[in-house]
Amino acid sequence: MTDISAANVMELRQKTGVSMMECKKALSEAQGDEEKAIEILRKRGAMKAAGKSDRTTAEGYVAISGNAIVSVRCETDFVARNEDFRAFVSTIAAEASAKGAAAAEAKFAAEKDAKIAQIGENITLGEVQIVTAATVGGYVHTTGKVGALIGLEGGNAELAAEVAMHVTALNPSVLHPDDISDELVAKEKAIWADQLKTEGKPEKIWDNIMMGKEKKFREESALVKQPFVKNQEKTIEQYLQEHGAHVVDFARAQV
């Protein structure tokens, strides 16, 4: 029987992140050959991952790197707060920033099974979003569960980060009022019509009321028309204009 030293076991653990006991078993089975032991652990990891792949992933972490924002989901808040898990999510975000969304998705797929084996929970990839602009800044809430990226023309990264904080809090669905689809507005109008009928409003004034409701609905949903969370007297558009900037793109991720 091959003698497996504690140093050998520790070295394998540092390379794989798998428990000491599992590393020792793999080294014993591989007769001390580290490469074979890693292969054995990968095979076992794949089996473990397959058994966990249908578990619900209701927790997770959001990471930003450069012009990319990524979310990865896990099963428990305990893992979501784990520094190693958060570092893993950050590497996916870095890949997205450096090589694009497709490369980040491929990296996650390649490393997913090993990470599941390490942490003992199912994980799934959430959003992978890229913001393209002259100036990009981001913000991730202290919980790590929601974050946003803002792309600006003019301004600086700090200004973009301020608006990103607003986006995490107010969750706009579009950039400009006109970006709201006519289909969505039509659905809302059907609801408003029922409400006006219930309220007994005369049909001859419905059109004027509908126009007001549509304007409010579009502006409340649009980032540039929302009152800035740090200064309710100004819209995001007005606040940025004062700083010689305007938004060209944004992205928001949440778990």
Q: What is the pLDDT along the chain (255 residues), one digit of tens a residue?
A: 577 888 888 887 766 666 677 788 888 988 888 888 877 877 766 445 545 555 566 799 999 999 999 999 998 899 899 999 999 999 999 999 999 999 999 999 999 888 888 888 889 999 999 999 999 999 999 999 999 999 999 999 999 999 999 999 999 999 999 999 888 888 888 888 888 888 888 888 888 888 898 899 899 999 999 999 999 899 999 999 999 999 999 999 999
CATH architecture type of domain 54-130: 2-Layer Sandwich (3.30)
pLDDT of residue 191: 86
Per-residue pLDDT at 57: 65
pLDDT for 22 equals 78
- Residue pair 181/202 in contact (Cβ under 8 Å)? The answer is no
pLDDT of residue 178: 92
Fold topology of 6-52:
Helicase, Ruva Protein; domain 3 (1.10.8)
Would you state the pLDDT for residue 235? 96
Residues 108, 128: Cα–Cα separation, whole Å:
11
- Those residues whose C-beta lies under 8 Å from the C-beta of residue 105, and which sit 6 or more positions away, are 125, 128
Q: Helices 101-119 and 83-99 meet at what angle, rounded to 10? A: 160
Sequence ranges of the chain with CATH classification 1.10.8.10: 6-52
Torsion of CA 155, 146, 107, 68, to 10 degrees: -10
Instruction: List, in order, residues 6 or more apart from 13 with CB less than 8 Å away.
Output: 19, 20, 23
Residue 251 corresponds to which amino acid?
A: A
Cα→Cα distances 62→50, 78, 84, 126, 148, Å: 24, 15, 14, 9, 9
